[in-house]
Amino acid sequence: MPRAITAFSNPLVKATQRLRDKKHRRDAGLFLAEGLRILTEAREAGRLPETLFFVPTADDRPLVTALVAATEAAGGDAIETTPDILSKLSGKDNPGAVIGVYREFPTPLDALDRSAAAIWLVAERMRDPGNLGTILRTADAVGAGGVILIDESVDPFSVEAVRASMGALFTVPVARARWDEFRAWLRGGPGQLVGLSLDTSSGYRAAAYAAPTFLLTGNEAQGMPDHMAAECDLLVKIPMLGKADSLNAAVATAVMAYEVLARTERSA
């Protein structure tokens, strides 16, 4: 049976709110996800919250009920609360009907099966949580095997990244690795490393891709370091006709990923 919490001063409310902060997430090994769409996506992927906060709502009541039942069946805690407390936990004015507290599930690099997919997305020092979440969402859409985060990256379990992923955090494996670890793992099997670059004359539409393709996107502000570009089997460029000579990193990754997807399908 769900219990009810209606006081801001409740210790569980305070502990949950602290998970918005990276240090507390790391210490607890827990993170937050919010909204019926994302939590339902998680449930369908077999991920249930350790604690589920929900408000009784008229809309989508069956989905809330299903989440409560699944959470409790898995031994989790379902807590009925108020919209104000949900807002406070979320940091948004309009957080929706549910917030879940999930155990983090990092994927070790060695657990990735490169033969499982033709496309893998690799992001180097990704800085913006919205960009990372959007890349996760794109990875889901193109059927990528996973996302590999290289060196110091924004936390994929941050509230903003989870939100922008629209649930893809729960369906797409995310591994974190230092560059040297990644390189050693990559070269231990088949795989073409393709880097996005401005310093090449090879257009992305004319390049020859070979599955599994690992698409490497560099840091938003600086691009990738020279030694990473040198390691790439192929450097390709997306044409830019405008004045700014730049694309959002998540957009560039998606344009590339869809090109590789279309070519892989064509050759299949």
Give contact residues for its own copies (rule: CB under 8 A): 41, 44-45, 130, 134, 137-143, 164, 166-168, 171-172, 205, 238-248, 250-251, 254-255, 258, 261-262
Q: Give the distance from CA 39 to its chain's centroid.
A: 14
Burial pattern 55-69, b for ≥16 Cβ within 10 A else e, equals beeeebeebbeebbe
Residue 115 or 248: the one with the smaller Cβ distance to its own copies is 248
CB of 203 to its own copies, least distance (A): 9
Residue spans of beta strands (DSSP E) within 142-247: 147-150, 174-177, 192-196, 213-217, 234-236
Residue 43 or 176: the one with the smaller Cβ distance to its own copies is 43
Residue 17 or 171: the one with the smaller Cβ distance to its own copies is 171
Residue 15 or 238: the one with the smaller Cβ distance to its own copies is 238
What is d(CA 243, CA 266) in angstroms, rounded to the nearest whole number?
A: 34
CB of 62 to its own copies, least distance (A): 20
CB of 13 to its own copies, least distance (A): 27
CA distances (Å), 67 to each of 85, 222, 250, in order?
19, 42, 31
What is d(CA 153, CA 127) in angstroms, rounded to the nearest whole number?
A: 6
CB of 113 to its own copies, least distance (A): 17
Using alpha carbons only, give the angle 165, 258, 212 rounded to the nearest 5 degrees: 95
CB of 140 to its own copies, least distance (A): 3
What is d(CA 175, CA 156) in angstroms, rounded to the nearest whole number?
A: 10
Residue 7 or 262: the one with the smaller Cβ distance to its own copies is 262
Residue 30 or 145: the one with the smaller Cβ distance to its own copies is 145
Count, residues in the chain? 268
CB of 48 to its own copies, least distance (A): 16
Is residue 86 classed exposed, middle or buried when 0-12, 13-18 and 19+ CB atoms within 10 A define those classes?
buried
